[in-house]
Chain A
């Protein structure tokens, strides 16, 4: 692949290269337009939201409205509360998954113990199993236990999203870590716990950070769990954004756009910060880059 060697400065113009760049630009136009359009829509006033496309007087009013008590009165959606709930449940789900998942990933990455394959496969199957198979019974259980529409209930069920991710990614990191490092620490006089904490854990810190942040994104973006297992008290942002559409009669497209962007912003910022580790995470450790 000779093209691999080329640097932009040394490249001469060729029709094929220009055509390739044109195709890329076309894809990105398609890919980025909806986001740009949402930004435009979110900057329009109520009066302009349906009457104009690209020419209007921009205002940030929609954002302040969405986040204020006045917005809640108009749309009957407590968006600030939903943002807070999403933050609490996503962080909580990631924290719980780390506490449970790090030891399990370590065990699976270090020892080929009997049954480790079964445990790992079962955890992975959570990722691919249709969610409703579990949610419908959980809906009934939660109603009996009083967990319906609570942050803890959401954190518990989000383990289906965060645990497989964290366990599988971290296992691949632990597998990459030479066992002899920890053995050296044992011979230096450290107990197994201290060897793990002072040698293994610091070395997989990038993996922990990347998997935790990716898990945070997917927990934040989840919709079907809070849709069924939360009500009016503790909906997450994904549920709250859809409620803007259902508002009685009056349409608040500009507010919806502002809310959608606000809800999309945290995962986008997190994603851009861990882009280097993203592929390994998205493929559950199958593709290392």
Chain B
């Protein structure tokens, strides 16, 4: 080893030292968050205004609205059209979430096997997910067309079979949702499976456990948090579905696909009854909020359990 000597130089700025009181140091993160908080305020203001509208009789006919208390809620909650929208929304959300979760987990498991076919196709998995849902709606609208749509031709259904008739429309828009969003569940769950530790599987293989046993007792519990994340995203998004449904059916025929957000759009933007539309939205918002709270709680529990910190 050679001896080394530090050349000694006086540190710059000796003598004049800035002092920052502890209180100002603690303020630093708030300072950095100010722009975001301002933006949040800019978003929360219209939200608050929207809630305020629900207590007015505000519409294009009534440009000088007055407070009407809970009248809008009374109207909406006693309107069978609203309850039909609730039913359609829940049916839509539950069906799409269940179907997409089952298919997505299945596809993830198939892709996890990493066969040659699987690895070639995996890169194409997310294509439908990255196309704008409204454009997916346009594409499927063209395919559903009874006269020249390719589906009726390929399945020999003739030109009278209407995919978007009153009793089929809901299932047809659900099918489009499945087409778009199943890859979302699949990529999330696939990433989850790939991040699982290998040791438990090797250990239980040594113990002579069967494939089915390993899947049910080991893989599924460890995958559960990932599946739940996917389910939460899908269910919450489905509750406020709008884009492809609106472009395919605009809520029709009748009210067959009139989800809550489409109903709110019709009230607010077509009939220009802002108060009624906002009431629809606020009720949907409450449903979404409660669901979110509940599901996030379930997720936290599942994550702790998968991490082994709770039984």
Interface residues of A (CB under 8 A from B): 1-4, 6, 8, 11, 17, 20-21, 23-25, 27-28, 30-32, 34-35, 37-38, 41, 49-51, 53, 99-101, 103-104, 106-108, 110-111, 113, 115-116, 119, 122-123, 125-126, 128-134, 136-141, 156, 159-160, 163, 167, 192, 217, 220-224, 228, 238, 241-242, 245, 253, 256-257, 260, 263-264, 267-268, 270-272, 275, 278-279, 282-283, 286-289
Contacts and interface: CB of A to CB of B under 8 A. Distances in A.
Nearest to B49: A137
B113 to A, nearest CB: 5
A282 B149 CA distance: 33
A107 B198 contact: no
Main secondary structure of the interface of B (DSSP, over half): helix
B292 interface: yes
B42 interface: yes
A37 B28 CA distance: 55
A104 B32 CA distance: 6
20 contacts: A30-B179, A31-B128, A31-B183, A34-B128, A34-B143, A37-B142, A49-B148, A101-B36, A107-B28, A119-B33, A126-B43, A128-B288, A130-B284, A137-B278, A139-B268, A223-B134, A245-B141, A253-B145, A275-B123, A283-B230
Interface residues of B, number: 102
Contacts of B164: none
B2 interface: no
Contacts of B131: 35, 221, 264, 267-268
B99 interface: no
B164 to A, nearest CB: 13
Contacts of B30: 107, 113, 115
Given A2-B205, A4-B198, A137-B49, A282 B184 contact: yes
B76 interface: no
Given A37-B139, A263-B135, 9 more contacts: A20-B110, A24-B115, A53-B153, A108-B29, A123-B36, A131-B261, A223-B243, A267-B132, A279-B188
A287 B115 contact: no
B140 interface: yes
Nearest to A214: B130
A105 to B, nearest CB: 9
A104 to B, nearest CB: 4
A245 B261 contact: no
B261 to A, nearest CB: 5
Given A133-B50, A223-B133, A242 B148 contact: no
A167 B147 contact: no
B268 A220 contact: no
Given A224-B242, A241-B138, A289-B194, A268 B35 contact: no
B107 A27 contact: yes
A285 to B, nearest CB: 10
B108 to A, nearest CB: 11
A289 B268 CA distance: 42
A45 B183 CA distance: 33
Contacts of A283: 188, 229-230, 233
B124 A264 contact: no
A262 to B, nearest CB: 10
A133 B282 contact: yes
A286 B140 contact: no
Contacts of B46: 134, 137-138, 141
A69 to B, nearest CB: 23
B98 interface: no
B134 A35 contact: no
Contact of A217 (B110, B130, B145, B226): B130
Contacts of B236: 128
Given A130-B281, A137-B50, A264-B132, A50 B148 contact: yes
A241 B277 contact: no
Rank and list the top 6 A-B pairs by shortest CB-CB distance, nearest first. Answer: A221-B132, A104-B36, A289-B191, A107-B29, A103-B32, A223-B134
B269 interface: yes
A53 B149 CA distance: 9
A134 B43 contact: yes
Contact of B107 (A24, A133, A140): A24
Interface in B187-246: 187-188, 190-192, 194-195, 198, 201, 205, 214, 219, 226, 229-230, 233, 236-237, 239-240, 242-243
B33 A1 contact: no
